[in-house]
Amino acid sequence: MSNAHPATTTAGTTTTAKVTPISGFPEYLPSERIVEQRFLDVIRETFELHGFSSIETRAVEPVDRLLGKGGDTDKEIYGVSRLAGDDADAAKWGLHFDLTVPFARYVLENSGKLAFPFRRYQIQKAWRGERPQEGRYREFTQADIDVVDVGELSPHFEAEMPLVIADVFSRFPVGDFVIQVNNRKIPNGFYQGIGLSDVTTTLRIVDKLDRLGPEKVAELLVESGATREQADQCLALAAIRADDLDFVPRVRELGVTHPLLEEGLESLTSVIRTAMAHAPGKVVADLRIARGLDYYTGTVYETQIIGNEDWGSVCSGGRYDALATDGRNTYPGVGISIGVSRILGLLIGQGLVTASRSTPAAVLVALTQDDSRDESVAIASALRSRGIPCEVAPTAARFGKQIRYAERRGIPFVWFPGAGESGNEVKDIRSGEQVPAAVDSWTPPAGDLHPTVTRTD
């Protein structure tokens, strides 16, 4: 994976200035790009199998809208301004740092044209002004699904989200995974039940458990105004995890009561019960999951790759009830986002996935001589008409050199026009087998038709 840019050109002349990479803006080599495209294909196909419609929103939003949507967004937003003109210094717009905020605006602008409940998926880049590190970038691709309704949103959609994600990740070559689920009403009600009034601060501190550990989190809770006993109770709640409905009696054993807590337990029970029936072993109730953003109000999700928990969450989201409102109607929703660049950066960066070749072409059509290019182009066109990706050799070099070209590109088959009695032969350059072939009937094995992506370990 590369971060370099091409040399600039001015009036058609290429400069010789040194190319300086910009950290946090990943660029893939062809083989890595094939891995990314296969992941995106799986995501898109699975989302559409579940009935989600595709949309795309603009890259920029008004800065005041971005600033008002929770978290330390003022530190994340890249402002956009013109380099010339009267407003050169006025950054009225900012690049979106996620896809949820622009989606909320999209719903408000198009509510009269959408059929509710509206099921959408969106695969786009986002930009975030954070310190680049492994798996975290300034420019990255996200893949989101959301269901939004008018006024009220049925809770069964909260149970549907992890089923969709389980389908996606089951088709990824990432190994085993787990989707961790909580409901914000559980910690909200619990914290109020033990006398903590600053629920937002408490949630944000508890959300740091993975990074800081329980002792440091307890210290931060005490510094924020909790007693040590209250901090210990918060940690006891966060320690509850179950892949069945056992989390309910374990919460009750803590002896805290609050109406909001009861609502959360009931909602999470429904999600876990659905998961047990339709995605067994893939979804767990994990009461430490908090999700720090302010707009989440119900179920929240985080997904981890088993064996690589130190990567943190690679897919997250939750329910929101007031993110989109026009003053007359409120549009509650629930959504979940796959960190595509985050997953790929980690998998590719650590050499855990690989593409079978760096080109889509399955066949190289050889050139017998320079003036026979038209014949080779006709063969390639006939193969392409039957869905076989191919390219024509760049020059009429010796056949051995053309084969080596195919090897460097990873192309498994070389087609030789007029090479045998039947008129054409095709060679599998891996095995050395060369057989007669007809352009209207020969097809490569299914596994060779397109590049494949596999996990190397």
The mean of the pLDDT values for the chain is 91
pLDDT of residue 136: 86
Residue 77 contacts residue 97 (beta carbons within 8 Å): yes
- Name the band, by pLDDT with cuts 50, 70 and 90, for residue 19: confident
Residue 7 lies in a domain: no
- Name the band, by pLDDT with cuts 50, 70 and 90, for residue 335: very high
Q: Return d(Cα 15, Cα 7) in angstroms, integer.
A: 6
List the structure tokens of 70: 């929770």
Nearest to 25 by CA among 123, 138, 142, 141: 138
Burial level of 372, CB count in 10 A (0-12/13-18/19+)? middle
Residue 124 contacts residue 332 (beta carbons within 8 Å): no
pLDDT of residue 428: 97
**Domain stop point among 333, 353, 373:** 353
Same domain (yes/no): 327, 390: no
Q: Return d(Cα 264, Cα 260) in angstroms, integer.
A: 6
Q: Which domain holds residue 444?
A: 363-455
**pLDDT tens for each residue of 142-193:** 999 999 999 999 999 999 999 999 999 999 998 899 999 999 999 999 999 9
Does residue 12 carry a pLDDT above 50? yes
Does residue 200 carry a pLDDT above 90? no
Residue 5 lies in a domain: no
Q: Return d(Cα 155, Cα 297) in angstroms, integer.
A: 12
- Name the band, by pLDDT with cuts 50, 70 and 90, for residue 218: very high
SS3 43: helix
Q: Which amino acid belongs to residue 218? A: A
Residue 388 CB neighbours (<10 A): 21
Same domain (yes/no): 412, 341: no
Same domain (yes/no): 48, 181: yes
- Name the band, by pLDDT with cuts 50, 70 and 90, for residue 5: very low
- The dihedral region occupied by 188, where left means phi > 0, alpha psi between -120 and 50, and beta the remainder, is alpha
**pLDDT tens for each residue of 283-302:** 999 999 987 667 789 999 99
* C-alpha dist (Å) from residue 281 to 35, 158, 247, 265, 318: 27, 18, 15, 20, 20
Same domain (yes/no): 274, 410: no
Residue 11 lies in a domain: no
List the structure tokens of 432: 């050395």
CA-CA-CA-CA torsion sign (159, 207, 209, 314): positive
Same domain (yes/no): 335, 384: no
Residue 24 lies in a domain: no
Same domain (yes/no): 432, 340: no
Residue 47 lies in a domain: yes
State the DSSP code for 78. Answer: P
**pLDDT tens for each residue of 253-273:** 999 999 999 999 999 999 999
Counted residue by residue, the chain has a size of 457
Q: Return d(Cα 387, Cα 97) in angstroms, integer.
A: 39
Same domain (yes/no): 345, 419: no
Residue 426 lies in a domain: yes
Point out the least confidently predicted range of 87-101, 365-379, 408-422, 440-454: 87-101
Same domain (yes/no): 260, 342: yes
**pLDDT tens for each residue of 90-108:** 688 999 999 998 999 999 9
Same domain (yes/no): 378, 245: no
**Domain stop point among 353, 386, 401:** 353
Same domain (yes/no): 264, 411: no
Counting the structural domains of the chain, the total is 2
Residue with tokens 């579940």: 50
E strands present in 340-412: 353-355, 363-365, 390-392
Kindly give the residue spans of alpha helices, DSSP state H, lying in 56-198: 63-67, 100-110, 156-170, 185-193
Q: What's the longest Cα–Cα distance across the chain?
A: 89
pLDDT of residue 74: 60
* C-alpha dist (Å) from residue 245 to 167, 214, 390: 22, 25, 54
Kindly give the residue spans of alpha helices, DSSP state H, lying in 224-369: 228-238, 247-252, 259-278, 340-349
SS3 24: coil
Please state whether the peptide bond connecting residue 132 to the residue before it is cis, i.e. omega within 30 degrees of 0: no
Q: Return d(Cα 307, Cα 318) in angstroms, integer.
A: 24
Residue 192 lies in a domain: yes
What is the mean pLDDT of the segment spanning 298-316?
A: 93
Same domain (yes/no): 58, 82: yes
List the structure tokens of 149: 């309704």
- Name the band, by pLDDT with cuts 50, 70 and 90, for residue 8: very low
Nearest to 388 by CA among 444, 434, 431: 444
What is the mean pLDDT of the segment spanning 336-350?
A: 94
List the structure tokens of 102: 């622009």
pLDDT of residue 228: 96
Does residue 453 carry a pLDDT above 60? yes
Phi and psi, residue 189, nearest 5°: -70, -40
> How large a percentage of the chain has pLDDT more than 70?
92
**pLDDT tens for each residue of 34-43:** 999 999 999 9
Point out the least confidently predicted range of 158-172, 198-212, 423-437: 198-212
**pLDDT tens for each residue of 345-393:** 999 989 999 999 999 999 999 999 989 999 999 999 999 999 999 999 9
pLDDT of residue 246: 97
CATH number for the domain including 329?
A: 3.30.930.10
**Domain stop point among 353, 381, 406:** 353
**pLDDT tens for each residue of 117-141:** 999 999 999 999 888 888 889 999 9
Same domain (yes/no): 227, 114: yes
SS3 170: helix
State the DSSP code for 358. Answer: S
State the DSSP code for 272. Answer: H
Radius of gyration of the chain (CA): 27
Residue 2 lies in a domain: no
**pLDDT tens for each residue of 57-71:** 999 999 988 887 655
Residue 305 CB neighbours (<10 A): 23
